[in-house]
Amino acid sequence: MTTTYVYPFSEGSKDQKQLLGGKGANLAEMTRLGLPVPPGFTITTDACRYYMHHGENPQELAEQVDAALADVEKELGRRFGDAEDPLLVSVRSGAAMSMPGMMETVLNVGLNDETVKALAAKSGSERFAQDSYRRLLQMFGRTVQDIDAEKFEEVMDRAKEDKGVATDVELDAEDFARIVEKMKAIIQEETGEPFPQDPREQLRQSIRAVFDSWNAPRAIVYRNAERIDHEMGTAVNVCSMVFGNLDDQSATGVCFTRDPSTGHSGVYGDFLVNAQGEDVVAGIRNTRSLPELEEVIPECYAELMAIMSTLEEHYKDLCDIEFTIESGTLWMLQTRVGKRTAAAAFRIATTLVEEGVIDEEEALRRVDGEQLTRLMFPRFSEGAERELLARGMNASPGAAVGKVAFDTPTVVEWAREGTPAILVRRETNPDDLSGMLSAAGVLTSRGGKTSHAAVVARGLGRTCVCGVDSMQVDEKAKEIRIDGEVVAREGDLISIDGSTGEVFRGEVPVEPSEVSQYLSGEVDADTEEVSDLVASVHRLMGVADRVRRLKVRTNADTPEDAARARRMGAEGIGLVRTEHMFLGDRRILVEDLVLAGTKKQRTKALEALMQPQRDDFIGIFEAMGELPITVRLLDPPLHEFLPDLTELSVRVARAQESGEEMDSRDVMVLGAVRRLHEQNPMLGLRGVRLGLTIPGLFGTQTRAILEAIAAVREKGGDPKVEIMIPLVSSIRELWEIKAEIQKVIADFAAETGVEVDPPIGTMIELPRAALRADEIAADADFFSFGTNDLTQTTWGFSRDDVESGFFFTYKDRGILTHSPFETLDQFGVGELVRIGAERGRSAKPDLKLGVCGEHGGDPASIHFFHWVGLDYVSCSPFRIPVARLEAGRAKLMEEGFTPRH
């Protein structure tokens, strides 16, 4: 059976994105709606995947393309390559997931030395024809033949310089004819062959170039950043050309049905008269604001406004639209659900609810935890002193401070060193993606809200200011000048405000955002004075809390952290790390325990450990009220609580060498450190092993917990405490420690008359524990998955080493798209979580399951934890709102969930 690889725009719909790509599916949908779409056809993503796997096109493709092209010729009454009335086409990429600017486009395919004459005669404009030809040569040379784009830019720049003009529009037909000849010479010189004159050969090579661009380095980087499947492939859209560069009644532009930066309703977009689409998005010419189109071509403006309304009503969302006007006739070239900033996402979602377009649950699906995180980032302090340098377009909001960098390699290098940078360019291009990903913010002197820099920055959540006309960016001299004066050089600090478009010299202080203040309980969302953004966040947080099944706890080790977490919506503590109670000045208490040589000394050391713990527990229990609190018994990698072996050895050796009297404690500690020294302490004497090795340690901690519970009860409280044994991998370890804990509980009840029966559970943080979970569950009241250590022991990675060492190499080569310590490895570590949960509940159906690694606050990981049936996630206080939001979304989206890499 023959596979269909080509679909005309008159077939298909917006529901076929996986097959036709987003652009092709939406072109088909607009055609179905009766909107003015130039005839054309889509080559499916199936064809791209075939090409990727076989290195050649499917056999049927050429014949199907010819047939589809013949249908377009018949519909328009023009023939491809005709010497009298030629049909020209554009060849554009279109993946299922939007990847703005990452893949290739070739316009004006079909022009050659003969058809350019026919185009000039038919249009009545030699200038237009020669301009269109040079655009084809420039795009084809760069995109299809991989010639350095600068070579073509130099030809254009020299032509403008020789004529003494600033823009392409000021060049005439003779200028463009000379440019065409020079560009053809570049292609001949660089490839050894002349520019292909056969239109069908141009089309064949352009289609192949779009397929190849799916695996271009920048596209791979973008997919890694956005976690898009590398196997999806791109569709190719072949569309009959309409010309925005034909005359002064022609134009091209991009518009949005709502402001993608703020979410507010209104007329938003940019356009250029006498231009083709690439001119707008590339930021090469500063655009005009869309409302001005009403003055230039009023009939087309009115038609466009009606179409924008139709599309938003149809898609029930913000739409991003590309259009071209050819001699007073409007054509629609693309629409898609538009990318937006975090603030716009929340505002648009709730506004559409108020307008009756969608319900609250759909609104919650349309925002996510990463967007909420961006809204929690600081903003510039309103009262702080600042020196304004310039103003531009507020393209993507936020407050960014960093050192000026003029190229992507510098930004990436500084990011690896931990130095924030602002990427400063005349205009960005797709090859700047790595720099934009690594930068704190992006600043350009050209382009508007629909330029490459603006669109990509919004998608990545980067602060961006575009189109700062007063700023001259000299990338060679590495200087920013205003009115001829150097205002910043590479390495100088600047601050940019993506909400206002302002650029400041030096570092401007920041303050908490209004959303952060609301989420931490400092702002009451029910007052009339609250901003519309906070009101939107408040409404959707309420929806999430109402629908979610997963509870959200916090990881907290102090009363202050516990209280902060509770204000942010924590429903308990999933992890109290008791070892954190012995950092700083208290570390000497652990040293004393290690140095204890007799039972009497050990008892004394343990008693000294108990009192500060008891006091800390009281504060934490009081802060949490009757919410559940899981206390993990000591799990210190011992090297973190003892002096460094090298430093201590040097200190003792110097004292010996100089004849000074040696500190007896230093000598004793050095002996203990040498005795306990481990090559890999993360896999050594810690957790349950420490409790078994040092008699009475976990019993003493249990006693401190019990006394704290009793003390809080005396004050009228009723803490719900759970005791967790760390690093268990064998049921026998659990038996031993649990017996010790239960004896302490019994002795405490007999001694004080206070009955306390806390649940006793364990962390599942080793692969063996997950695999033997059914056995362990028989004697555990609950499990908490410690995914930090489970990731280390499954991958064989040290978290500290992977994130400071080879991870960049792995990421650059696409071996890992993100750190497994940030987002759960669902097919490896996640599979162990799934096995542990399933086997644990096979032995004890009502076994309570949670996760206390930092993955508990990661949006993608939360959906997985919901899917495997955990009862709660636990994370740091700052991430609680994100976890609450994503837990709600996980419930609403559970039917479509599948584990992913």
How many whole angstroms separate alpha carbon 547 and alpha carbon 887? 9
Nearest-angstrom CA–CA distance, 669 and 647: 12
Token pair of 665, please?
Answer: 């404690």
User: Between 599-624 and 559-567, two packed helices, what is the crossing angle to 10 degrees?
Assistant: 20
Separation of CA 871 from chain center = 27
Spot the catalytic one: 852, 863, 866, 875.
852
Compute the C-alpha angle 430/434/436, nearest 5°: 80
Half-sphere exposure of residue 511: CA atoms within 13 angstroms, side-chain side: 7
Q: Which helix (H) or strand (E) holds 29?
A: helix 17-32
User: For residue 232, what are its two tokens?
Assistant: 């999806």
255, 300, 452, 866: the active-site residue: 452
CA dist., res. 116 & res. 129, Å (int): 6
Helices 880-892 and 532-547 sit at what angle, rounded to 10 degrees?
60
Neighbours of 828 (CB within 10 A): 16
Contact 482/472 with Cβ under 8 angstroms?
Answer: yes
- The answer to whether 452 is a known catalytic residue is yes
Helix (H) or strand (E) holding 574: strand 573-577
| CA dihedral (267, 273, 277, 279) positive or negative | negative
Please give the radius of gyration of the chain, using alpha carbons only, rounded to the nearest integer.
32
The residues, any chain, with a CB within 8 Å of residue 696's CB and separated by 6 or more, are 602, 603, 606
Q: How many CA atoms lie within 13 A of 175 on its CB side?
A: 20
For 272, the enclosing helix (H) or strand (E) is strand 265-273
Return the sign of the alpha-carbon dihedral for residues 164, 169, 173, 176: positive
Half-sphere exposure of 437 (CA within 13 A, CB side): 21
Q: Which residues pair with 79 in a beta bridge?
A: 86
Q: Can you tell me the distance from the alpha carbon of 502 to that of 767, in angstroms, rounded to the nearest whole number? A: 52
CB distance 632 to 574 below 8 Å: no
The Cα 539–Cα 347 span in angstroms is 10
- Residue 852 falls in the annotated catalytic set: yes
Q: What is the largest CA-CA distance in the chain?
A: 106
Q: Write down the residue that tokens 């952290």 correspond to.
A: 561
Question: Please, what is the end-to-end C-alpha distance for the chain in angstroms?
Answer: 33
Phi and psi, residue 33, nearest 5°: -80, -5
Instruction: Specify the 3-state DSSP secondary structure of 109.
Output: strand
705 φ/ψ angles, rounded to the nearest 5 degrees:
-65, -45
Q: Could you give the residue numbers annotated as active site? A: 452, 852
